[in-house]
Amino acid sequence: MNYRKTREEVLAELNTSSSGLSDHQRTENQKKYGINRLPEPEKDSLLKKFFDQLKDPLTLILIAAAIISLAADPHEWAESLIIVLVVVFNGILGVAQENSAEKSLEALKKLSSAKANVLKDGKRCSIDADQVSVGDILVVEAGDQIASDGRIIECWNLQVDESALTGESLPVNKHADVIDQKDVPLADQKNMVFAGTVCTYGRALVCVTSVGVHNEVGKIADMLIKTENEQTPLQVKLAQISKMIGGLCLLICGVVFVLELMSGLTLLDAFKTSVALAVAAIPEGLATVVTICLALGVSQMAKQNAVVRKLPAVETLGCCSVICSDKTGTLTQNRMTVKEVYTPESQRCSFDSEGSEDIRKMMAYFTLCSDGELFEENSELKLLGDPTETALVYASWIMKDKKEDLMKKYPRLNEIAFDSNRKLMSVFVQEKDNVLQITKGAPDVILSRCVKEDAEAAKVNGEMAKDALRVLGVAIKRYQKMPETIDTNLEYDLEFVGLAGMIDPPRPEVKDAIEKAQSGSIRTIMITGDHLITASAIAKNLGILQEHDLALTGSELSEMSEEELEQKLESISVIARVAPEQKVRIVNAWQKKGHVVAMTGDGVNDSPALKSADIGCAMGITGTDVAKQAAEMVLMDDNFATIISAVKQGRNIYDNIRKDVQFLLSSNIGEVLTIFCASVLNLFLGFQLGVPLLPIHLLWVNLITDSLPAFALGMERAEESIMQRSPRPKEESFFSHHLGWAIAWQGIMIGTLTLISYLIGNRVSYEVGMTMAFMTLAASQLVHAFNVKSEHSILNKTVFSNGYLWGSLVIGLSLQFLVIYLPPLSNLFSLTELSLSQMIVSIGLALCTVGISEIVKCLSK
């Protein structure tokens, strides 16, 4: 609690002086207190990232299938090789996407202040910021990024922008006095400065009290490293599917193995049949298809100014039901803007570039009495200085009064600097033959020092303050010549000119984005470090804070028990003046209620909540490096509306993955039933049918004629009504809404048609039967993809809406014909050429899937 200690106590405790440290002392202190660097998580090697990709349950099942296939017959190694290639391809794809995202984020990183000015034996010198040590005396000036936490020992009108750490949108006035209170919030420790914040005005000498991990920003970074990542909803669902497939696979393989032995087959032949069944049951292409579907979503999001660090993050947004958003820089522009003005002539009115002459004159006075700067660089306006003062300069600029032109017309002769105690600043400028004094500051102070009272101005000041505007007043005084003594006694007997009310305005696109979120039953919560009045006003303007909603402060939240918070949580829309741990508490509270929570933010103070949320969205332009590292997604344009686009994209991806799972599993069930039913017919009816499909046939179908349409289904466009749907519950089964039933009957349909084709061909020969079954199975799955693309009838113009699906049909059939009619391939696959009539029967049976599906869709309406 260095803020409670005097300057002398701090210097004595740290064994330093106002002259600073010597090089030897700095080296010794670095050994004692550590280096001034933030902790960073260890980066995984490419090999570890690759093996992490193999931990997916579906991938583990694929590896097991390869081992079983090789163990059954080492001579037939082709199946195992294909499986291994699929596993390696899927792993490389996932690693490549993660590395691509990391490189994009590296390019986004802003260079922090690499140097710090310190006193060394009483002389000012510049050193690397990471070499700053406890006991160093920092020399802080306007524009400097503060290198480490420290106690102010001397300051002159110091103002610091702490928005990245505390969420406070306005610069904080600092002082060097003792704060004799306990448990003072970070935002109110006015005699302390913190690493990563920026000095916007004035200067100071600061004694460094902590470095690196012990700084406030370091504590947050350390908290992020210790926070474990939870599985995304998609990962949970796919793990459930993997367990289900694995269990069914083992059960059915065991049953078929016994049946084959009972029918008289040798142990090796029965084992081969079981392996074929295992390969049939496992959707080898599913993991790859899901990865590519997510990668396509990531690619589309990148075009919409978002960088996704983890593939499943896009889908996670699809089931998002709560967005906890920071205010400053996320919902607002992080730039103070004059919104309303008051003059005795024009009264209270909205500010615009076409204001009356008295308003233009007032804004000119404000601009002359400010140190903010505005200049153009590469056709872009740049603002330099205190945000409040730059807002005034910008207001004059849009009224066609550039500050440099005003300064030429009214050259500054002298000034009385701003002081936080008297809350005023005055300048003296030459006005033709007179000297003009312009004084600006707190409206109540300005009004109290004017010759003539203006009751209406006092009333308007109160109204503007209630509307969360930051209000400044300006007054003038004329002299025939420059006063001999320039002091604060001149700031009396003033002539009141007017008031300017400023606010950090909402981003123009945010209100519409929040309305879209509400139409999709997504709740937006504002969590900010700013003042409650300001936050509430912005929230009402954006439609976040409704009539019966609650707006609380962090202190009020801390006083709530977990039970009380749970009861009131859904009525809380705004929480202001919050600490980082309180943001995490809110995120966790919503998660306990079963919601999928997205957290947006740009500051260091947002980082723990970004990581605790189901998906963290950091701002790419204004966001700090720590925030970007904690988030799953970085918004390159800092646009809140991009999040809603991501939600839409996520919902569509989830829909498409469900279609892929429906398509692939129904196809695999068809394969399993074909082999299983053949085994049953062999045992109980005395048929000598053999195995209808070999493992290599099933691998071909699963990896080629299944995967191509599955990729195409992953390209399906979002339905127009997708954002009008409520988010799916976090605990909702992947097979809800009759998906399990659809997979079952469609699998039975494909299996039955394939077995019929096999029985017809088997009357000619075993090879013809196997080839016809192979052709029917592949063609039926290529055609069945069209049935899966929509729950409604496809016999309309929407059947042509997905060109990729038609492409997969053409390519799939072409490859199928090559395998059957090209001798080297047909020999590898143990197939024979089919006659025209046999091919027509095979494809005709495959086309039956459309008619059957249309009948079921019609009956289910």
Structure tokens at 287: 């993991």
As beta bridge partners, residue 412 has: 429
CA–CA dist 415, 116 (Å, integer): 30
34 phi-psi bin (left φ>0, alpha ψ -120 to 50, beta other): left
**Token pair for 168:** 């406070």
Contacts of 534 by beta carbon, 8 Å cutoff, 6+ apart: 169, 468, 503, 504, 576
Distance CA 83, CA 92 (A): 14
What the block records as the tokens of 751 is 């299996």
DSSP state, residue 213: G
437 vs 369: CA distance, rounded Å: 9
Q: How far apart are CA 109 and CA 305, in angstroms?
A: 16
Residue found by looking up tokens 């990148």 in the block: 302
Full DSSP string of 246-274? HHHHHHHHHHHHHHHHHTT--HHHHHHHH
Annotate 817-838 with b (16+ C-beta within 10 A) or e (fewer): eebbeeeeebeebebbebeeeb
Locate 460 and state its tokens: 């308007």
Provide the CA 240 distance to its chain's centre, in angstroms: 26
Give the DSSP letter of residue 424: E
According to DSSP, the β-strands at 347-350 and 337-343 are: antiparallel
512 among known catalytic residues? no
For residues 192 and 210, give the distance between their C-alpha atoms in angstroms, rounded to a whole number: 11
Query: Which residues, in sequence order, are bridge partners of residue 159?
Result: 173, 201
| Secondary structure (3-state) at 210 | coil
Burial group, residue 342, by CB count within 10 angstroms (0-12, 13-18, 19+): buried
Exposure string of 469-502, with b = 16+ CB inside 10 Å and e = fewer, is bbbbbbbbbeeeeeeeeeeeebbeebebbbbbbb
| Rounded Cα–Cα distance for residues 605 and 621 (Å) | 16
Catalytic residue among 149, 161, 326, 606: 326
- Residue 157 to residue 350: CA distance in whole angstroms: 31
**464's tokens:** 């503007």
**DSSP label of 333:** -
Torsion of CA 695, 700, 705, 711, to 10 degrees: 110
Beta carbons of 366 and 417 less than 8 angstroms apart:
no
Helices (H), 475-548: 510-519, 532-542
DSSP 802-850: -HHHHHHHHHHHHHHHHHHHSHHHHHHTT--PPPHHHHHHHHHHHHHHH
Identify the helix (H) or strand (E) that includes residue 728. Answer: none
Q: Do 186 and 194 form a contact (C-beta atoms < 8 A)?
A: yes
Residues whose CB falls within 8 Å of the CB of residue 82, separated by 6 or more in sequence, listed in order: 696, 699, 703
Catalytic positions: 326
